[in-house]
């Protein structure tokens, strides 16, 4: 089966006495088996509402969801799981007790063995009998990750999966995510994580998908690249000469010039050489995912 998750025309409006908030406005997307889809958008874009509807915590006003080509049912719900940095665990229970509750919910066989393996994977086995109430935010994040893998899900929703983690722990978590043999819907405000992990990226705004594609395809949406030139020698009037270009900055014989058309590269470098510059090194820098994100949401 090509698509394990299909979302079509989801709409959701929250109402109170004074106003209506349209959280989703015809949201549609598909996720392929085994891929990691990055779902990006500013606060209020509808990411959390969409996830809560898909996993069954909230009902939509209209629209359809299909798991493995069929409408949601108990069988398909047992094949999905989720981890969020904002999920509230039972603070009065220990780490292991919390995970045992979820293991019973999913009818996990050999639960103790499964739980201990996950605790060791995320380096929290030694504190397994510690109350969740006494955990740091990073430790709670790791417990939630254990919870999300307790049933070996075929579709996994990860919301801010590395929130509160030390850099070395976050690195290990990303390595675990990369090796998962399941489909992942991944949201994060850390753009480098999205670039590193995701097969495709979807930009979401006001309850809709704006653009979706691979990182390479997404980067083509913004034409501007940056031309970075290191000079071994610059003329005295270098500032006047560089003013004719879209100069971003110059520092320590290094200039950053906005390159809107790659065909301009030859003309710019040729002109600089004729003007007395001696070029040591040239680099063309593509826009980062964060820069593209800001382009769409500014």
278 and 169 inside one domain: no
6 and 66 inside one domain: yes
286 and 246 inside one domain: yes
Distance, CA of 1 to chain centre = 24
Per-residue confidence in pLDDT tens, the chain, 298 aa? 689 999 999 999 998 877 888 999 999 999 999 999 999 888 888 888 999 999 998 999 999 999 999 999 889 889 999 998 767 789 999 999 999 999 999 999 999 999 999 999 999 999 999 999 999 989 999 999 999 999 999 999 998 888 888 889 999 999 999 999 899 999 888 888 988 999 999 988 889 998 899 988 887 777 678 889 999 999 989 988 988 888 888 888 999 988 877 778 888 999 999 999 999 999 988 877 877 777 766 6
pLDDT at 104: 95
13 and 65 inside one domain: yes
191 and 209 inside one domain: yes
18 and 55 inside one domain: yes
How many other β-carbons are positioned within 10 Å of the β-carbon of residue 255? 20
Cα gap 203→95, rounded to integer Å: 35
2 and 75 inside one domain: yes
104 and 201 inside one domain: no
pLDDT at 258: 84
168 and 52 inside one domain: yes
141 and 196 inside one domain: no
pLDDT at 1: 63
pLDDT at 296: 65
Task: State how beta strands 183-187 and 155-159 pair.
Answer: parallel
SS3 of residue 161 by DSSP = coil
- Tally of domains in the chain: 3
pLDDT at 291: 76
Cα gap 3→183, rounded to integer Å: 10
User: Radius of gyration over alpha carbons of the chain, in Å?
Assistant: 24
SS3 of residue 237 by DSSP = coil
pLDDT at 223: 67
Cα gap 102→272, rounded to integer Å: 65
Which of 111, 137, 152 is the last residue in one of the domains?
Answer: 152
pLDDT at 244: 87
CB of 50 within 8 A of CB of 63? no
22 and 119 inside one domain: no
Containing domain of residue 253, as a range? Answer: 225-297
Backbone angles phi, psi at 232, to 5 degrees: -90, -20
Task: State how beta strands 36-40 and 200-205 pair.
Answer: parallel
pLDDT at 2: 85
Nearest 5°: CA angle at 212, between 63 and 155?
A: 60
Which of 180, 201, 221 is the last residue in one of the domains?
Answer: 221
Distance, CA of 23 to chain centre = 20
pLDDT at 162: 87
- Segments in 83-237 forming alpha helices (H): 95-105, 111-121, 137-148, 167-179, 191-197, 215-219
How many other β-carbons are positioned within 10 Å of the β-carbon of residue 197? 18
pLDDT at 234: 92
11 and 141 inside one domain: no
pLDDT at 202: 92
Which of 102, 121, 152 is the last residue in one of the domains?
Answer: 152
CATH number for the domain including 21? 3.40.50.300
CB of 219 within 8 A of CB of 292? yes
pLDDT at 160: 85
Distance, CA of 279 to chain centre = 38
């Amino acid at each position: 089966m090509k698509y394990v998750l299909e979302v079509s025309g989801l709409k959701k409006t929250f109402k109170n006495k004074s106003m209506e908030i349209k959280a989703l406005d015809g949201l549609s997307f598909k996720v392929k088996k085994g891929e990691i889809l990055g779902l990006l958008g500013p606060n209020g874009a509808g990411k959390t509402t969409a996830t809560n509807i898909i996993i069954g915590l909230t009902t939509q006003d209209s629209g359809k969801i299909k798991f493995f080509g069929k409408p949601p049912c108990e069988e398909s719900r047992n094949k999905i799981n989720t981890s969020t940095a904002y999920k509230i665990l039972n603070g009065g229970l220990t780490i292991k007790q919390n995970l045992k509750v979820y293991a019973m919910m999913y009818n996990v066989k050999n639960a103790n063995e499964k739980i201990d393996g996950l605790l060791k994977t995320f380096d929290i086995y030694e504190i397994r009998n510690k109350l969740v109430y006494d955990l740091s935010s990073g430790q709670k994040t790791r417990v939630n990750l254990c919870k999300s893998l307790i049933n070996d899900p075929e579709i996994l929703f990860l919301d801010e999966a590395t929130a509160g983690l030390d850099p070395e722990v976050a690195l290990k978590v990303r390595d675990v995510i990369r090796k998962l043999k399941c489909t992942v819907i991944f949201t994060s405000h850390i753009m480098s994580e999205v670039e590193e992990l995701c097969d495709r990226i979807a930009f979401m705004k006001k309850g809709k998908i704006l653009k979706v594609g691979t990182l390479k395809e997404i980067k083509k949406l913004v034409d501007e690249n940056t031309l970075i030139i290191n000079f071994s020698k610059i003329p005295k009037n270098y500032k006047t000469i560089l003013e004719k270009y879209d100069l971003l900055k110059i520092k320590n014989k290094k200039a950053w010039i906005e390159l809107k058309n790659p065909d301009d590269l030859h003309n710019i470098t040729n002109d600089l050489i004729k003007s007395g510059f001696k070029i040591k090194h040239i680099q063309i820098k593509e826009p980062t995912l964060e820069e593209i994100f800001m382009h769409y949401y500014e």
